[in-house]
Amino acid sequence: MEYLGFIFGIFGLLAYLQSASLKRRIDALEEQLAKTRGTEAFETRASLISAVQSYIGSKVTIDLKEDHEDVDVMMYGNTKHGSITILDADEDWMLVRIESPKGTKEKLLRLASVERISLVQNNETSE
């Protein structure tokens, strides 16, 4: 009987190791899929990167995904009290300047966290 418990214990350990390996593989596939998928406003990641790089030096409004929200972007970036300017961007990150009544901050934002990005119209900034 003791051997039977030992054998079931080994099978249980093997099943646990296999499920842990499967979890890691699923996480890696989800991360890879997130890198290739676009956002709500952009169909592909390449179009998002292209848009962000074309907006360098421009004032933009940025909506972040719900699980990646940033207080400064939410409070000042999309209001008449502040603005966001894209300073630099690459395939994974963008450097932004957030101007607010409290001062100016520079932040790195991950492109995977961007839900939507658009240029600020000139009449919105003059208010």
Domain extent, residue 13, equals 1-36
Q: What 3-state class would DSSP assign to 44?
A: strand
3-state SS assignment for residue 79: coil
Note the pLDDT of residue 56: 92
Range scoring the smallest mean pLDDT among 15-19, 29-33, 48-52: 29-33
Residues 53 and 88 in one domain: yes
How would residue 87 be classed by pLDDT, with cut points 50, 70 and 90? very high
Query: CATH number of the domain that 113 lies in?
Result: 2.30.30.100
**Counted domains in the chain:** 2
The per-residue pLDDT for 86 is 92
The CA distances from residue 97 to 76, 80, 103, 108, in Å, are: 11, 15, 10, 9
In a shared domain, residues 28 and 59: no
On whether both 87 and 106 belong to a single domain, the answer is yes
* pLDDT value of position 19: 87
Say yes or no: 59 and 99 in one domain: yes
- The string of pLDDT tens digits covering residues 46-82 is 888 888 888 899 888 888 887 777 777 777 766 677 8
Instruction: Note the pTM of the prediction, 2 decimals.
Output: 0.61
